[in-house]
Chain A
Amino acid sequence: MTPLDAAPLIDLEETARLRRARLERIGAWALPMLTVGLTIYGWHWVVVANDIPHYILPSPERVASQLVQDWSILSAALLVTLKITLMALTTAVVVGVGLAVLFSLSRWVEMSFFPYAVILQVTPVVAIAPLIFIYVDSASVGLLICAWIVAFFPILSNTTLGLNSADHNLRDLFAIYGATRWQRLRYLEIPSAMPYFLGGLRIAGGLSLIGAIVAEYVAGTTGTGGGLAFRILEASYRLNIPRMFAALLLIALAGVAIFAATTLLQHLMLRKWHESAIKRER
């Protein structure tokens, strides 16, 4: 902070600018918290003022106490869903990046297999899932396949785009110095693809959670490991609306956590050099 008192000569405009910047910094975290607080209060007020029964719309306190009360069931379910999500994301990264590298190494492979990737992407997972659960014995493997199908395309297409967008002059330079195909991939194409890959990873993180949840719904209440979607279905049959809300809250929080983690990873990987991560002095 500039010691404003010690420097009375600083002009008024600059002082106003500094104050505005400080307000903006405080607002960045205070405003979202305020709106969340107001929303929760509004929800509470609607429930209390209209005397809405908890089996129609539970109040926020009711949801919170249900979450505490059912913690052992819900945390186990969260763990199951998170495990499927993270495994699907990992597989999506391995297969997506692997295929993208393969595509960049050989146009023939790309021409032959890219259509399949597109078909997998455009066919809704809910439509394929029942078949998958017929052919695959293990329910968790079925869930994994469904979540993977949803998550892997953004990684594949973004990484492919990234590998192809290396600077042409740098490519020429590599050619002049007689770089091998492997050297070009490792020192030029992979670093160039990094921002694109990380963008794809952020999308895929959210999608793998969605894929896991959707697959659980399709798999139904029978014979699954009992993830969060399973608990929501089960609670809806029992008209346990507060538990449905509690499970929903956990799904939303898991989604936010995945988004935050991938955003942090992106920042850490790119902060040194990429335009997206650079703060400029104005």
Chain B
Amino acid sequence: MRDAAGAPGLAGPLLRVENVTKMFAGGVTALEGMALELHDGDFVSLLGPSGCGKSTALRLMAGLSRPTRGRIRWRDGADAGLGVVFQEPTLAPWSTVRDNVWLPLRLRGVSRRAATPAIEESLAAVGLAGFEGAYPRELSGGMKMRVSIARAMVTKPKLLLMDEPFAALDEITRFKLNDDVLRLQQNLGCTVVFVTHSVFESVFLSTRIVVMAARPGRVVEELRVDAPPARDDAFRTSAPYAEQCRRASATLKQAMEMGA
């Protein structure tokens, strides 16, 4: 169902966004002519000011809305392996942490008992072992986000879509979660698309940064990030990191002037 035009699957890339335009009722063009290829193991950030269509692009990839023009193609059979983390934790307040993480498996008909090992593994991976019985309201903002990530990971997705997941968190929690996301991505070997408006976050996390501009939302440039294999605190304070942040900032500034 996510293959918008019913096109045949791809051979190479995991997912390809082919010249996609999205217009909303009232004639607003949220996204114009976007093209993007996602390969296995990519960590792609969509970076841009608000109104640049980055969240729209993510919703299109998630199959939550359809392109007005163009199409989104998945590699054969790959579209089942999708996990999503929203801006808010989006947990069911009436369910315990365990049952919240169980949800994606439950919807596939997996019993709680059969799902328990996967749930526990997923929660342990985000550092929440022992919180299975807690209700979301008992957790801090950062912990709720971790549950949300654990829920997205529990199905071992091929592609993880994250929509400004840490925008509402403080910097200390955000650094910690950035480290965790990189580690989880490596363990799972999944591809990540990460929407953000933070230059520093995008350089720290990504292999590629897609810089976008507003009015109409569009891609202006794709930057490649060169980083050591281990992205850690040393990388976060290194000169190459600062240099690449400067470059991304300059590109973003250009993009914002184009959209103004």
Contact of A273 among B62, B82, B93 (CB under 8 A): B93
Q: Decide if A177 is an interface residue (CB 8 Å cutoff).
A: yes
Give chain A's interface secondary structure class.
Answer: helix
Pick the residue among A175, A176, A177, A188 that contacts B108 (CB under 8 A): A177
Say yes or no: B84 contacts A176, CB within 8 Å.
yes
Contacts of A143-195 to chain B: CB distance below 8 A? 167, 169-170, 172-179, 183, 187-188, 191, 194
CB pair A167 B106 closer than 8 Å: no
User: Which residues of B lie under 8 Å from residue A172 when comparing CB positions?
Assistant: 59, 62, 64, 84, 86
Proximity bits, B126-146, A CB within 8 Å = 1, else 0: 000000000111000000000
A188–B107 CA distance with the chains assembled, in angstroms: 11
**B135 to A273, Cβ gap below 8 A?**
yes
Please name all residues of chain B whose beta carbon is closer than 8 Å to the beta carbon of A183 when the two chains form the complex: 107
| B111 CB-CB contact with A under 8 Å | no
Q: Which residues of B contact A238 (CB under 8 A)?
A: none
**Contact indicator B84/A173 (Cβ below 8 Å):** yes
Q: Does A176 contact B64, Cβ atoms closer than 8 Å? A: yes
Q: Does A274 lie within 8 Å of B107, measured CB to CB?
A: no
Query: Does chain A have a CB within 8 A of B189?
Result: no
Nearest CB in chain B to that of A174: its residue: B107
Among B90, B95, B107, chain A packs the most CB atoms within 10 A around the CB of B107
* Bitwise interface map of B from 76 to 119 toward A, beta carbon under 8 Å scored 1, else 0: 00000010101010101111000000011011100000000000
Known: A273-B137, A278-B137. A175 touches B64 (CB 8 A): yes
Across the interface, which residues of A come within 8 angstroms of B86, CB to CB?
A: 169, 172-173
A191 pairs with B92, CB closer than 8 A: yes
Tally of contact residues, A, Cβ under 8 A: 20
CB pair A272 B135 closer than 8 Å: yes
Given contacts A179-B107, A183-B107, contact A173 B135 (CB under 8 A): no
B104 touches A177 (CB 8 A): yes
Instruction: Identify A176's interface contact among B82, B94, B135, CB under 8 A.
Output: B82
With both beta carbons as reference points, the residue of chain A lying nearest to B136 in the complex is identified as A273
Give complex CA distance A269, B94 in Å. Answer: 10
Q: Please judge, given known A-B contacts A176-B63, A177-B104, whether A194 and B94 are in contact too, CB under 8 Å.
A: yes
Write out the residue numbers on chain B whose beta carbons fall within 8 Å of the beta carbon of A167.
Answer: 90
| CB <8 Å contact, A274 and B93 | yes
- The distance from the CB of B168 to the nearest CB of chain A, in whole angstroms, is 13
B 129-188 contacts with A by CB, 8 A:
135-137
Closest chain A CB from B103 CB (angstroms): 7
The chain A residue sitting closest to B87, CB to CB, is A169
- Per the bound structure, the CA–CA distance linking A167 and B63 in Å amounts to 18
CB-CB < 8 A to B136: which residues of A? 273
Q: CA–CA, A187 to B59, complex, Å?
A: 23
Residues of A within 8 A of B82 (CB): 176
B90:A177 contact, CB within 8 angstroms: no
Given contacts A176-B84, A272-B135, contact A191 B94 (CB under 8 A): yes
Closest to A270 in B: B94
State whether B62 touches A169 (Cβ < 8 A). no
Mask for A184-208, Cβ within 8 A of B = 1, else 0?
0001100100100000000000000
Chain A min CB distance to B186 (Å): 24
- Per the bound structure, the CA–CA distance linking A194 and B86 in Å amounts to 25
With A179-B107, A187-B106: A173-B90 Cβ-Cβ less than 8 Å: yes
Q: A176-B64, A272-B94, A278-B137 are in contact. Are A187 and B84 (CB under 8 A)?
A: no
Chain A residues in 8 Å Cβ range of B137: 273, 278
- Shortest Cβ distance from residue A13 to the other chain B in the assembled complex, whole angstroms: 29
A272 (CB) vs chain B CBs: closest residue: B135
| Between-chain CB contacts (< 8 Å), 5 pairs | A169-B86, A169-B90, A177-B104, A177-B107, A187-B107
A interface residues (Cβ-Cβ under 8 A, vs B): 167, 169-170, 172-179, 183, 187-188, 191, 194, 272-274, 278
Closest 6 CB pairs of A and B: A169-B90, A191-B94, A177-B107, A273-B93, A273-B94, A179-B107
Given contacts A167-B90, A169-B86, A178-B107, 16 further A-B contacts (CB under 8 A): A172-B86, A173-B84, A174-B107, A175-B63, A175-B64, A176-B64, A176-B84, A177-B108, A179-B107, A183-B107, A187-B103, A187-B106, A188-B92, A194-B94, A272-B94, A273-B93
